[in-house]
Amino acid sequence: MYNLHCHSLLSDGVLLPSEVAVRYASLGYKIIAITDHADYSNIEFTVQAIMNFCKHWPDDSMIKVLPGIELTHLPLEQFKPLANLARKKGIKVIVAHGETLVEPVIKGTNHAALLADIDILAHPGLIKEQDVRLAKKKGIFLEITSRKGHSETNPYVVEYAKKIDAPLILNTDSHQPEDIIKLDELNNFAFKAGLTQKDLEAINKRVLYFLKEKEVR
């Protein structure tokens, strides 16, 4: 139904945003966000490019595309100002690149990102319980992902999120065409991580409410 973590050739993906949208639409997705990687070196250009694309994407298309960004490998003090900048420019979905175990991420990134105006903490790895509680307090989604490598800690994230009742979201974090998978395949990653069908229904309900708010603003 939705996927709020997609990359295009505006960062390290290989497809144009339009190709990303059409491929997701062909698999039955109804709404996506283009969330290319950004730091101070490229955020102005990338935000403008994504905003231009979404502005010209037809409203009556088979799929809705929201403008997003993924704040990636930032020094900790840069999450707040860059999130604020993206929001002021009109970005609807702000993702932060969390402390995955398969990349060298600065220690403390999860906490710094959660203190900023973000919507999703991507692949948060072995996130601390205090940060899961912070995510719950701020209504920030913790990501369950189908992305190779990043998905290894899905069960850990699910366990703590369910324990504390923190919000979860399912995303593909797609970069390559083969990362764009069917909805039932994405759901299987959730089931393998310990979520039930009832859990998925609750997650989807919360995400759809979030999306409704984003489209109204």
Distance from CA of residue 171 to its chain's centroid? 6
* Confidence at residue 59, expressed as pLDDT on a 0 to 100 scale: 81
We report the CATH number of the domain holding residue 152 as: 3.20.20.140
| pLDDT, block means (10 residues), the chain with 217 residues | 97 97 96 98 98 93 94 98 98 98 98 98 98 98 98 98 97 98 97 97 96 73
Q: How far apart are CA 121 and CA 169, in angstroms?
A: 9
pTM, rounded to two decimals: 0.97
Where do we find the tokens 């990134």?
A: 109
Q: Quick one: how many helices (H) and strands (E) in the chain?
A: 8, 8
* Confidence at residue 60, expressed as pLDDT on a 0 to 100 scale: 80
Q: Domain of residue 123: give its range.
A: 2-216
* Confidence at residue 122, expressed as pLDDT on a 0 to 100 scale: 98
Where do we find the tokens 């990303």?
A: 20
Q: How far apart are CA 198 and CA 217, in angstroms?
A: 29
Domain count, the chain: 1
Q: What are phi and psi of 53, to 5 degrees?
A: -60, -50
**Amino acid letter, 75:** P
